[in-house]
Chains A and B, each alone.
Chain A
């Protein structure tokens, strides 16, 4: 079956621009996660949804970061007024239940110039 998909795969934004990153999880997966992976580092947690409810957003680095999953399926991570330090790969993962293995998408590489 289809895995987790993300779009766009690559995004270049000028500093100060807003960006929106999309994630399509595996069909039926109730849990959805966003991670940020800086160059040469492991993924770091940003936020977690169970269905449409955002249960944990403790990893969002600032109030410029906002995530939603309005119908409990597709999710969007929005970054307002992008800064150079936002440059990273943003990974989305889904899981059939919390605590279970997470399946990752290919990521969106964001470069802020």
Chain B
């Protein structure tokens, strides 16, 4: 079974500061991991994905995440926050062998302070 824990339901950063959103997963098999962003009244947009290749994954809009098996983590980072990064961020895990569903965390709301 898979599950995701996102620590910190709300994160505030100053514009230009480092963004760090935490995601820890539980999986009985080597997982696939994903980060999605959701803007108000919109669907989820894929930021990046880990599918067992390179452990450091680069995504869109300057985001990246590192898969750390020993820590069962897949934290999302961005060196310099922009006002347009304010949104809800979701981490998700799936079993690559079945792929029937994604298991999502409860989300982290990112606020960027000008």
A interface vs B, CB < 8 Å? 4, 31, 33, 40-45, 48, 55-56, 59, 91, 93, 95, 97-107, 109
- Of B41, B46, B100, B103, chain A has the most CB atoms within 10 Å of the CB of B100
The answer to whether B46 touches A101, judged by C-beta atoms less than 8 angstroms apart, is yes
Which 4 A/B pairs are nearest by Cβ-Cβ distance? Answer: A99-B99, A98-B99, A42-B104, A104-B43
Chain B interfacial residues counted at CB < 8 A: 27
In the complex, which of the residues A59, A101, A106, A107 contacts B101, with contact meaning CB atoms closer than 8 Å? A59
Additional 5 contacts, C-beta under 8 A, given A56-B101, A101-B46, A101-B49: A40-B106, A41-B106, A43-B104, A44-B104, A98-B99
In the complex, which of the residues B44, B100, B106 contacts A104, with contact meaning CB atoms closer than 8 Å? B44
Binds A, one of B66-74, B79-87, B90-98: B90-98
The answer to whether B42 touches A98, judged by C-beta atoms less than 8 angstroms apart, is no
In the complex, which of the residues A55, A101, A107 contacts B34, with contact meaning CB atoms closer than 8 Å? A101
